[in-house]
Amino acid sequence: MEIGHLYMTNETINSILENSKSEYHKLSIQVSLNGLSFCVLDTLSNTILTSEKIVFENELTPYAVQKEIKQLFEKNKIRDVQFSEVVVIHRNNLFSLVPQALFNKEELANYLKFNAKILANDHLEYDEIKSLDMVNVYVPFMNINNYIYDLFGEFEFLHHGTILIQTLANSHGNLSDPICYIHLIEGHMDITVISNKKLILYNNFSFNTKEDFIYYLLFTLEQLKLDTETTKLKLFGSIEENDELYNMCHQYVRDISIFIPSNTTFYHFGGSDKETIDFTLLNTL
């Protein structure tokens, strides 16, 4: 597996966690079959005390991911800290968006069965996106939820798509022209198209090559009848200006830029590099 940088030694982390008041510590964890990450926020000083990210070489099972979380927590002595709040983000493509007016919590499986492969024993959940009158129905990793509950008690969990949609809609303002946002992380691309504070589309694709990536992008724009000459494309996550994917986008879309989320300015990155902390993690803090 590829292991992200840990920006403080374990001794330094332990010293900070022990010397600051744990009732002001918030833990945010993101889990997927391709990797996991976490960060700890001191809400009193608005400082991110520590963070770490792991990318798996191959996609794991949910139970193998649980073992990785256990090892990560043991290494960083996360289990020894009492947190005031814990949030778990489930990142997968087992989701379906439903208009609030059509939503019935007794019909969760019916919303998902055409978009995702679900099993009879899958536990289904949903997040309400009230600002957009929409509901995100999804399959969480219940073994991981159970493990986190055993460690910390009550906690909040969300689908990563819920956080992306809410945050981008809030930052979009009242712009009437559509903007296509693409968030890249670990071989996945989240495409979100917003116009005038309305969600036009949200979808998630896995890709292995740059050709796959550009195909999904151009196909989405074509289906939505968005002009590549005038539609604004904003890229963020695991992408930088003038890297391979960025330059390929520039061949087909005229107006592209790197999207810099404004929320990063609200935090002090005491022991962490903000460039390595995922967008969805930051937006649960």
pTM for this prediction: 0.89
Q: Which residues pair with 87 in a beta bridge?
A: 28, 156
DSSP-derived 3-state class of residue 41: strand
Q: How confident is the model at residue 77 (pLDDT cuts 50, 70, 90)?
A: confident
According to DSSP, the β-strands at 85-90 and 95-99 are unpaired
CA atoms of 192 and 161, how far apart (whole Å):
9
> What is the mean predicted confidence (pLDDT) over 135-146?
97
Domain count, the chain: 3
Are residues 81 and 158 part of one domain? yes
Structural domain span for residue 117: 95-138
CA atoms of 246 and 231, how far apart (whole Å):
16
Closest of 96, 18, 43 to residue 284, by C-alpha: 43
Answer whether residue 102 shows pLDDT above 60: yes
pLDDT more than 70, % of the chain: 87
* CATH number, position 6: 3.30.420.40
Q: What is the predicted pLDDT for the residue at 7? A: 41
Q: What is the predicted pLDDT for the residue at 61? A: 95
Q: What is the predicted pLDDT for the residue at 5? A: 40
Are residues 222 and 102 part of one domain? no
Q: What is the residue-averaged pLDDT of the chain?
A: 87
Are residues 120 and 53 part of one domain? no
234-263 pLDDT per residue, tens: 999 889 898 999 999 999 999 999 998 765
Backbone Cα Rg of the chain? 19
CA distances from 237 to 67, 223, 234 (A): 26, 24, 10
179-221 pLDDT per residue, tens: 999 999 888 999 999 988 889 999 999 999 999 999 999 999 9
Q: What is the predicted pLDDT for the residue at 17? A: 54
Better-predicted residue by pLDDT, 270 or 26: 26
8-53 pLDDT per residue, tens: 445 445 555 555 556 788 999 999 999 999 999 988 888 888 888 8
Q: Nearest 5 degrees, angle CA 139-CA 130-CA 157?
A: 35
**Which residue spans within the chain are E strands per DSSP?**
2-3, 25-31, 35-42, 47-55, 85-90, 95-99, 125-129, 134-138, 156-159, 179-185, 188-195, 198-206, 232-237, 255-258
Cβ atoms 116, 139 nearer than 8 A: yes
Are residues 125 and 24 part of one domain? no
Dig out the tokens for 93 from the structure.
């493509």
Are residues 155 and 84 part of one domain? yes
Are residues 256 and 237 part of one domain? yes
**In the chain, what are the helix, strand and coil shares in percent, each to the nearest 5?**
35, 30, 35
Are residues 45 and 151 part of one domain? yes
Q: What is the predicted pLDDT for the residue at 44? A: 87
Are residues 154 and 60 part of one domain? yes
Tell the residue number behind the tokens 């009732």, with chain if given.
23
CA distances from 276 to 47, 94, 123 (A): 15, 25, 31
Type of residue at 93? N
Q: What is the predicted pLDDT for the residue at 16? A: 52
> What is the mean predicted confidence (pLDDT) over 60-82?
91
Are residues 159 and 70 part of one domain? yes
> What is the mean predicted confidence (pLDDT) over 81-104?
94
Are residues 248 and 187 part of one domain? yes
Are residues 276 and 238 part of one domain? no
> What is the mean predicted confidence (pLDDT) over 50-63?
91
Better-predicted residue by pLDDT, 175 or 234: 234
Closest of 175, 172, 192 to residue 184, by C-alpha: 192
Are residues 78 and 158 part of one domain? yes
Answer whether residue 275 shows pLDDT above 70: no
